[in-house]
Structure 1
Amino acid sequence: MTLVYQSTRDAHNTVTASQAILQGLASDGGLFTPTTYPRVDLDFALLKDASYQEVAKLVLSAFLDDFTPEELDYCINNAYDDKFDTPEIAPLVKLNGQYNLELFRGSTIAFKDMALSILPYLMTTAAKKHGLENEIVILTATSGDTGKAAMAGFADVAGTQIIVFYPRDGVSKVQELQMTTQTGRNTHVVAIDGNFDDAQTDVKRMFNDSDLRDKLAAHKLQFSSANSMNIGRLVPQIVYYVWAYAQLVKAGDIHAGDEINFTVPTGNFGNILAAFYAKQIGLPVGKLICASNDNNVLTDFFTTGTYDKKRAFKVTTSPSMDILVSSNLERLIFHLVGNGAEKTKELMEALLEKGEYSLTDADAAILDLFAAGFATEEQTAAEIKRVYEENDYIEDPHTAVASAVYKAYKEETGDSRPTVIVSTASPYKFPVVAVEAVTGKTGLSDFEALENLHDLSGVAYPQAVDGLETAPVLHDTVVATADMQKAVEDYLQV
């Protein structure tokens, strides 16, 4: 029986996996979400020796079950190839007291590559499957990494356009240059005078604007999303949790069936939600530790049951987590209220209208799976330094947030289960932060810091930053948040 994906806001709005991937966001504003979970044979006696591609085939064929085996092979083999600088795709590094799952070995040195390498293939395959003649317009907001990874994936892919909005003062210089130097005739990048939440809110509004949808359709265009709001972005992220567990079994550090924890730095909640789905298909997970920076809205939610975005937005050294409206939390809320679309819609409308909602009656077993904490700027810098001094290994600030939160969690609970820190970006993406934390040097430019980081870490320059300083800037548009739709219409000539 084909897996059903339902909108979190309307029980009657159901689609298959390929339809969900094409649409990106449900027309009612909800997110397509599985209401049941597929059966997956997680036999770690076999999986410990499987390649990343083989683990991907196992997981994706279960969740994306209206794709044929041949279609999935095509997507997987084109995604997980030599774009990654290691054949393991996602190496697991053993440090003092933790394991770091390096998800930054792809072409843009951030974890978004893990899913955005495959999404274009899934999307174009789905379009062919459904005889879609419209050009697909990928419309996305980014807090720094999704934009570059999505553009790298979709650049010059036939039948697609991609438009990325980012907060002008809310990303690192390296992140900004990675986006503004992106080649590809179908790529468009726009900075906004606002923060990520402003960009994401208006992107969602455009998705739900029926007049704009009709205008696009008249020009044989339709929106889809590369954010983790798209189930085709989220499902491939489940793979690396299964893969990490298999690597621990292979190393002899755990036995199949032993519980482990994952600590995930997250702003939009997609990455940790993928770990939740891995647990639902049988991965032996003890705790999922949700790590936030000073924008600690998720920590407060898991502590109090109230989600309250009415607070100051803070620009931090871990900008990909500078988010106050965690879109993917909506999927977890849906599950917490017994897959109740009506209740979920009511809560999301309260968030929009009042800036907060409270969850009074929730599935206790699901809530109990999560722990949450946050790291301040000072704690994050101190953690980068500690990990370097103890392991001669440099974490980026997002990974350091997770590392610091895990350290505090372990001290508070005494939980001694093996724990994987989900390492979401290379320190080369945030060189000034990393070098300042380790050495105390201040006032460095990004490119001076890159040289220092190379000397400190002994790690070769990733291709993603090599030559970035001299690459020509191809995108320099800046608009007010109120003018985002006009920019989209201008690019698409509608």
Structure 2
Amino acid sequence: MRYISTRGRAPELGFCDALLAGLATDGGLYVPQTWPTVNAPTAGSYADRAAAIMQPFIGTEIDAGTMARLSREAYSSFRHPDVVPLVQIAPEHYLLELFHGPTLAFKDVALQLIGRLFDHVLSQRNQRVMIVGATSGDTGSAAIDGVKSCNNVDIVILYPRGRVSDVQRRQMTTVDAPNVHTVAIDGTFDDCQDLVKAMFNDAPFRDANNLSAVNSINWARVMAQTVYYFTALQALGRSASFSVPTGNFGNVLAGWIAKQMGAPIEKLIVGSNSNDILTRFFDTHAMQMTSVVPTLSPSMDIQVSSNFERLLFEMNDRDGGATAQQLDAFRANGKMSVEPDQYASWIAPMFRAHRCDDAETLSVMKRMHNDHGMLVDPHTA
């Protein structure tokens, strides 16, 4: 499988090079040249099924046996034998539990694997990289846990001071490993993300420090997240819609990609908090930046959802030049819209959106506890 940039000006790469690069040299995000159709296996452990579902994206660059071993190692640290169990909460409602990893964040599902992929590829090449990432909370702690034992990786995580939960701040800043570094930034998550993108866009700096990324701008993150859409539907035994708490758009995009691969997904519901740029886009066909508002769900306190670029690339019929032009205008003017036919073809058939403020979040948390005896976190609510 070859990978191309959403902005059309970076060279094509194989899987391992795209994994290590993270961001394309033209500032775009890597996507596969084609979306493979997958006959997802129904037998075996989650780790074995995950390896089989992801193998078409990897091709021959990592053989199937090695990929299965890395997958088993990654998911051996999860506290539930099913890794991501599907739990029924009402006759037509289920909850996919993504919190059984070492840092309790859903991102453990991808990042425990990615740390092992990095170390495997780097050891084969006798190379070392520096991972640089921005986090609103869960990415940082999950990324650090995923690579803290890697022999060939240093990691630097930027987070907005006072805008991540105290638990996640401690998860990031108390790791006693020489390859782990955390930096508090006076600003928002988007400011942190802009700093990371600026480092990657500075070619001499990027090359001198062998920079790489593991947040959801890295294709492998999204790839790994497609798996649990397949396993959830297998556990359910029928097609279904998914409601996905959404910040950087990577998790819900993984659902869209799973649909392209053959998963019987009916609708994807994009859940936003008061930072509702995505909800407003799905309602009005237009995206307009506003100030970030701190909420009870800080991992979703984002205005610029980086992974939306991958969907925009598809809406532009994979025209990298058109995608780059739209995004440049968005950065310059703080707003962007899509044509009605693009919206009708790409958005309306698959996506719905809902905004949930802190009051509604607390109400849902209370109702889930009273009605079902479940204590859900604000992002789930």
TM-score by length of 2: 0.96
| Whole-angstrom distance in 1 between the partners of 2:155 and 2:352 | 36
Name the aligned partner's letter for residue 74 of structure 2. A
1:7-18 to 2 correspondences below 5 Å:
7-10=5-8, 13-18=11-16
Aligned residues of 1:21 and 1:126 also touching (Cα < 8 A) = no
| Whole-angstrom distance in 1 between the partners of 2:327 and 2:190 | 15
| Whole-angstrom distance in 2 between the partners of 1:263 and 1:183 | 37
Aligned residues of 1:292 and 1:299 also touching (Cα < 8 A) = yes
- Residue 330 of structure 1: CA displacement? 0.2
Aligned residues of 1:272 and 1:290 also touching (Cα < 8 A) = yes
- Corresponding residue for residue 332 of structure 1: 311
| Whole-angstrom distance in 2 between the partners of 1:101 and 1:227 | 21
| Whole-angstrom distance in 2 between the partners of 1:358 and 1:365 | 15
What SS does the corresponding residue of 1:244 show, helix, strand or coil?
Answer: helix
Matched, 1:163 2:156: yes
1:374-432: per-residue Cα shift (whole Å, max 9, x none)? Answer: 101100000001111110011100000xxxxxxxxxxxxxxxxxxxxxxxxxxxxxxxx
Matched, 1:289 2:282: no
Matched, 1:30 2:28: yes
| Whole-angstrom distance in 2 between the partners of 1:161 and 1:176 | 19
1:170-185 to 2 correspondences below 5 Å:
170-185=163-178
- Corresponding residue for residue 365 of structure 2: 384
Name the aligned partner's letter for residue 383 of structure 1. V
- Corresponding residue for residue 372 of structure 1: 353
1:26-425 to 2 correspondences below 5 Å:
26-42=24-40, 47=42, 49-65=43-59, 66-81=61-76, 83-96=77-90, 97-129=92-124, 131-133=125-127, 135-214=128-207, 216=208, 221-249=209-237, 254=238, 259-309=239-289, 311-360=290-339, 361-362=341-342, 364-367=344-347, 368-400=349-381
- Residue 11 of structure 1: CA displacement? 5.5
Higher Cα Rg, which structure: 1
- Residue 41 of structure 1: CA displacement? 1.3
- Residue 12 of structure 1: CA displacement? 5.6
RMSD: 1.4
- Residue 132 of structure 1: CA displacement? 4.9
The structure showing larger relative contact order (alpha-carbon pairs under 8 Å, at least 6 residues apart) is 1
Aligned residues of 2:50 and 2:227 also touching (Cα < 8 A) = yes
| Whole-angstrom distance in 1 between the partners of 2:126 and 2:313 | 30
1:292-329: per-residue Cα shift (whole Å, max 9, x none)? Answer: 000000001111111111x1210000000000000000
Name the aligned partner's letter for residue 232 of structure 1. A
1:147-168: per-residue Cα shift (whole Å, max 9, x none)? Answer: 0111111113111100001011
Structure 1 unaligned spans of 5+: 401-494
Aligned residues of 2:271 and 2:353 also touching (Cα < 8 A) = yes
Name the aligned partner's letter for residue 167 of structure 1. P
TM-score by length of 1: 0.74
- Residue 118 of structure 1: CA displacement? 0.5
Aligned residues of 1:55 and 1:242 also touching (Cα < 8 A) = no
Aligned residues of 1:19 and 1:126 also touching (Cα < 8 A) = no
What SS does the corresponding residue of 1:13 show, helix, strand or coil?
Answer: coil
Aligned residues of 2:48 and 2:72 also touching (Cα < 8 A) = no
| Whole-angstrom distance in 2 between the partners of 1:12 and 1:333 | 17
Aligned residues of 1:27 and 1:207 also touching (Cα < 8 A) = yes
1:160-179: per-residue Cα shift (whole Å, max 9, x none)? Answer: 10000101111111111111
Name the aligned partner's letter for residue 192 of structure 2. A
What SS does the corresponding residue of 1:86 show, helix, strand or coil?
Answer: coil
| Whole-angstrom distance in 2 between the partners of 1:341 and 1:242 | 29
Q: Percent of counterpart pairs with the same letter?
A: 41
In the TM superposition, structure 1's runs of 4+ consecutive aligned residues that sit over 2 Å from their partners are 124-129, 363-366
Name the aligned partner's letter for residue 229 of structure 2. Y
Q: How many residues align?
A: 377
- Residue 268 of structure 1: CA displacement? 0.1
What SS does the corresponding residue of 1:362 show, helix, strand or coil?
Answer: helix
Mean alpha-carbon deviation: is it higher for 153-162 or for 312-321? 153-162
Structure 2 unaligned spans of 5+: none
Name the aligned partner's letter for residue 141 of structure 1. A
Name the aligned partner's letter for residue 7 of structure 2. R
- Residue 364 of structure 1: CA displacement? 3.0
| Whole-angstrom distance in 1 between the partners of 2:183 and 2:206 | 21
| Whole-angstrom distance in 2 between the partners of 1:295 and 1:286 | 26
Aligned residues of 1:35 and 1:339 also touching (Cα < 8 A) = no
| Whole-angstrom distance in 2 between the partners of 1:93 and 1:74 | 28
| Whole-angstrom distance in 1 between the partners of 2:235 and 2:176 | 36
| Whole-angstrom distance in 1 between the partners of 2:228 and 2:369 | 25
- Residue 67 of structure 1: CA displacement? 1.7
Mean alpha-carbon deviation: is it higher for 339-348 or for 363-372? 363-372
Name the aligned partner's letter for residue 379 of structure 1. E
| Whole-angstrom distance in 1 between the partners of 2:56 and 2:203 | 33
| Cα separation, partners in 2 of 1:363 and 1:36, compared to 1, 3 Å | farther
Aligned residues of 2:115 and 2:147 also touching (Cα < 8 A) = yes
- Residue 39 of structure 1: CA displacement? 2.5
- Residue 37 of structure 1: CA displacement? 0.9
